[in-house]
Amino acid sequence: MLLYNNALSGNCYKVRLLAAQLGVGLELRDLDVLDRSDRPQVIGELTPVLRVPVLVTDDGRAMFESNAIIDYLAEGTEYLPADRYERQQVLAWQFFEQYEIEPNLAVARFWRLFAVEQPPAAWAQKQDAGRRGLEALERGLQGHEFLVADRYSVADISLYGYTHLAAEGGFDLSPYPAIRAWLERVAAQPGHVAISA
Amino acid sequence: MLLYNNALSGNCYKVRLLAAQLGVGLELRDLDVLDRSDRPQVIGELTPVLRVPVLVTDDGRAMFESNAIIDYLAEGTEYLPADRYERQQVLAWQFFEQYEIEPNLAVARFWRLFAVEQPPAAWAQKQDAGRRGLEALERGLQGHEFLVADRYSVADISLYGYTHLAAEGGFDLSPYPAIRAWLERVAAQPGHVAISA
């Protein structure tokens, strides 16, 4: 399968991580995250949103949205529960991730990595909103090994994507012991690969 | 089933709309969206994120995140495809909704409905980001009756939730003919109910 990718993107990393654990081979085609002028030409036919990752199957089916891509890949495997209520919980955490974690942790990290100037109020807003997201994640992990049914699943992969990079966005994880212990458990899973792998 | 609800919330409306179309009865318990001080006490045991909707089944299972709730309810019905690739597309649109539509259209609407003062730059940013989301939705709907497989599904319900309220957030839909025609098709579906129903 072909993955339109960016090496620094936590969203693209989710797909690479699950593919490594499933033993699925990916051909990577990297797109720039600063100069996006080629996107309509390169992926405009594949996704209406012009963001990576985009996965294209060998028979030409295109998919967008990182969490929806990994759920597709995980269907029928140990990484996505078969039970209907457990699947609801997996999705709930994944929607939470795109609503409260990614828009704050990933955007703050992007601003830092690429030295994008922001008004102090915008930076403070991202930090506050990101901390509220981390507090919710901490509550969800208290007393649990993993997010859903105490088994490693795509929910953990989705949340791990940017949470393990929190420091690069200026977030301090020391107030969140449940998150820190969970990050270590995720990184210890069979077949785990780093974002830089 | 018991729905922790707010009458004005487009996210809660998604659940009420699908439940009406499925003929599922809901007991509603409304929470305030301005004064949220009672939330830890009322729903703190049910959801780590303290937002509505929260759905509780008759046997006491709690669910959070609107799109994940409607996917649970729609499982095995005509409103959620069985085909693996079509399910991927449904999820992709739902994640897009929580990333590009809800944070802009719903937040701008909230600011307007409750006269929440914002700096002009914050208002302009929401309007620009919301328009980019609407442009992506317009591209996705061009040449299609509905978002996935040309059949009405939970993807349409998720996107309809706030898109049909765009004007209340200051967004003009006249540049988006595919969206306007699709909104009429969604509203004409059997069992459709309005947000005010």
Q: Mean pLDDT, chain B, as a whole number? A: 97
Confidence at residue B132, expressed as pLDDT on a 0 to 100 scale: 97
pLDDT of residue A109: 98
Of B49, B94, B103, which has the smallest distance from its Cβ to A103's Cβ?
B103
pLDDT of residue B6: 97
The single-letter DSSP state of residue B27 is E
Q: Distance between CA atoms of B93 and B159, rounded to whole angstroms? A: 8
- What pLDDT is stored for residue B140 in this prediction? 96
Output the pLDDT for position B191: 98
- Burial of B66-92, coded b for 16+ CB within 10 Å and e otherwise, reads bbbbbbbbbeeeebbbeeebbbbbbbb
pLDDT grade for A69, boundaries at 50, 70 and 90 = very high
What pLDDT is attached to residue B79? 98
Range list for CATH 1.20.1050.10 in chain A: 84-187
Supply the pLDDT for residue A76: 97
Q: What pLDDT sits at residue B59? A: 95
CA distances (Å), origin B61, targets A94, A139, A151, B48: 19, 18, 19, 14
Best to test chain A binding among B1, B18, B73, B88 (most A CBs inside 10 Å): B88
Q: Delimit the CATH 3.40.30.10 region(s) of chain B.
A: 2-74
Distance between A64 CA and the closest CA of chain B, angstroms: 6
B97 reaches A (C-beta below 8 A):
no
Percent of chain A with pLDDT strictly greater than 70? 100
| Amino acid found at A105 | L
pLDDT at B111: 97
> Over the stretch B72-109, which tens digit does the pLDDT of each residue have?
999 999 999 999 999 999 999 999 999 999 999 999 99
Nearest to A68 among B48, B64, B88 (CB): B88
List pLDDT tens digits, range A32-53: 999 999 999 999 999 999 999 9
* CB-based contact A96 B137, cutoff 8 Å: no
Average pLDDT score over residue span A13-25: 98
Domain made up of B84-187: CATH architecture: Up-down Bundle (1.20)
* pLDDT value of position A66: 98
User: For residue A128, what pLDDT is reported?
Assistant: 98
Give the burial string for A31-63 (b: 16+ CB within 10 Å, else e).
Answer: bebeeeeebeeebeebbbbbbbbbbbeeeeebb
Residues B113-134: tens digit of each pLDDT: 999 999 898 999 999 999 999 9
**Cβ-nearest to A48 among B65, B72, B136:** B136
A179-195 average pLDDT score: 98
Among the partner residues B63, B103, B136, nearest to A88 by beta-carbon distance:
B63
- Contacts of residue B61 in chain A, CB cutoff 8 Å? 85
Give me the total of CB pairs closer than 8 Å, taking one residue from chain A and one from chain B.
Answer: 95
Q: Is A83 on the interface with B (CB under 8 A)?
A: no
Note whether B140 contacts A48, CB cutoff 8 Å.
yes
Is the link from the previous residue into A120 a cis peptide, with omega within 30 of 0? no
Write out pLDDT tens, residues A140-150.
999 999 999 99
Which of chain B's residues have a Cβ under 8 Å away from the Cβ of A98?
Answer: 95, 98-99
Report the residue from B63, B85, B136 with minimal CB separation from A92: B63
Closest-CA residue of chain B to A66: B92
Share of chain A above pLDDT 90, in %: 97
0.95 surpassed by complex ipTM: yes
A138 band by pLDDT with thresholds 50, 70 and 90: very high
Q: Which fold has domain A2-74?
A: Glutaredoxin (3.40.30)
Nearest CA to A132 among A111, A103, A94, A167?
A103
What average pLDDT does the segment B51-64 reach?
Answer: 97
